A and B are shown apart, each in its own frame.
Chain A
């Protein structure tokens, strides 16, 4: 078992036990070899990630699927201007690269943003990352963006700073980014071929001129690559986001993956295009569709062998506050924040973070035990299992209260997170919404089971009919261990001839803004 390495940061972080095999299809340490790094057995970092990089990302709620159960980030909307136009964006709303189309966040001045950040960090010790991602492009608003970072760094130096950009202005600001100690930058890169770029970007504004067509895409491409290289040279972590647009860049993203990896990006996050006519975007109006869940997963799987893929991105709204997927922004409106008494308590925050470390180790041990128990049974059989959770890495959400389900893939060698599915709340004010159930079933259609803390009799029967087994036997257990236990029972039942393994179909990705109720 010591020869199994990981290419997938998600499964790696979910395990924390470096010696446990996770996915047989990944190359082992031996095969990857020659990097001169510590062996898998002694290093927790995935094989294609430099050790220093792993240190920086393991607690980052945006980059570590495992950490996002425990830590939180927030975004402040201080940057309304943009310097390019994307066909999936309607600029009445927030930048579609980091949030959902159709969402407008409250615009803040740098001073308001800094105050809001401190208020949230004081109330929520999990809040460890502050990001600027819009509503437009942070680097098209450099003064507002950097002023916000300066104010926060002065008051709360323990908070990590990050920003997301389309990359056009990036080379001009890399040194300022470095000086301000910003250690995470996300660039949205949808193409490395200007012909394809011309179908995604109608124009850019660069050096006092509007460029269109291939010319625009060529400039944008060169600036993105240059910016990425400059970040890598300076040791600043860089993640790449790509929007998967079927028929335009879906196959091309494999090339994008190679190009960004060779320039030092440590994660590549492929997001589905979210497109509907009511968003008023060029793609929405032209009927350009987004990918299905299986199309997205297939592309992510194709890219995975080459670098760390990030699958838990929720394309959350730019001013979201709280753990990923849980939004507490209404507690921190500008009005409320301006009236709050602020005391920034670094010690309380550190105490929380220490407690979390303990839990994470407990969780790893539980998974380890299940894996030993499974003992490689199951052969080639892989299944997807949906989980209802509200954090801490446990199966702890009621089916009817889940706004999204996390989807895990289990096979004979382990379990890994593969994505999340947003759904409409089934239970609104205590009674089940009958229209919501078919939507949930469509979203989970490729899963064999759904693990929940609790579920009512009616949805239970309907799920069973649809071939999705509802399971509440593992309520409040750690997710990885619970998914593996389910897999084991699944294999047991196959061996006893009680059930047969069938390939389940595809599932739908919900269109629309992620706005927590």
Chain B
């Protein structure tokens, strides 16, 4: 399952964007979004999902259970 950003909580601080190893994050209409097909949950790059680790608002970058898990 890829990660998603809960838009209503995102402060648009941009911290997550450069940290994503897959360039899956970008700004759209004043908030940041994750492209689900690009997100690998950081598997193969880092131990922790980077967007979660850097985001200042708890529970804003969360698993998107509506999309199947990423297959490495």
Q: A-side interface residues toward B, CB under 8 Å?
A: 80-83, 85, 91-92, 135-136, 140-141, 143, 205, 208-210
Contact = CB atoms under 8 A, between A and B. Distances in A.
Contacts of A210: 48, 52-54
A135 B48 CA distance: 26
B56 interface: yes
B53 A208 contact: yes
A209 B48 contact: yes
A92 B12 CA distance: 9
Contact of A81 (B15, B47, B48, B57): B15
A83 B11 contact: no
A402 B48 CA distance: 52
Contacts of B13: 80-82, 91, 135-136
Nearest to A144: B14
A140 B48 contact: no
Given A208-B46, A210-B48, A80 B53 contact: no
A269 B46 CA distance: 39
Given A81-B13, A81-B15, A82-B13, 20 more contacts: A80-B12, A80-B14, A80-B15, A81-B14, A81-B54, A82-B56, A83-B54, A91-B13, A91-B57, A135-B13, A136-B13, A205-B15, A205-B53, A205-B54, A208-B46, A208-B50, A209-B47, A209-B48, A210-B48, A210-B54
14 contacts: A81-B14, A82-B15, A91-B11, A92-B11, A135-B13, A140-B15, A141-B14, A205-B53, A208-B53, A209-B46, A209-B47, A210-B48, A210-B52, A210-B54
A107 to B, nearest CB: 8
A contact patch SS: loop
Interface residues of B, number: 16
Contacts of A140: 15
A4 B48 CA distance: 59
Contacts of B50: 208
B contact patch SS: loop
Closest 10 CB pairs of A and B: A81-B15, A210-B53, A91-B56, A205-B54, A80-B13, A208-B46, A81-B14, A81-B13, A80-B14, A92-B11
A10 B54 CA distance: 39
Contacts of B11: 91-92
A83 B15 contact: yes
A209 B48 CA distance: 7
Interface in B8-22: 11-15, 18-19
Nearest to B56: A91
B50 to A, nearest CB: 6
Interface string B22-50: 00000000000000000000000011101
Interface string B50-65: 1011101100000000
B15 A209 contact: no
Contacts of B52: 210
A205 B15 CA distance: 10
B59 to A, nearest CB: 14
Nearest to B45: A208
A29 to B, nearest CB: 49
Contacts of A81: 13-15, 18, 54
Contacts of A91: 11, 13, 56-57
B56 A85 contact: yes
B44 to A, nearest CB: 13
Most A Cβ at <10 Å: residue of B14, B46, B47, B50 = B14
Given A208-B46, A209-B48, A210-B48, A136 B15 contact: yes
A210 B51 CA distance: 11
Contacts of A136: 13, 15
Most A Cβ at <10 Å: residue of B52, B53, B57 = B53
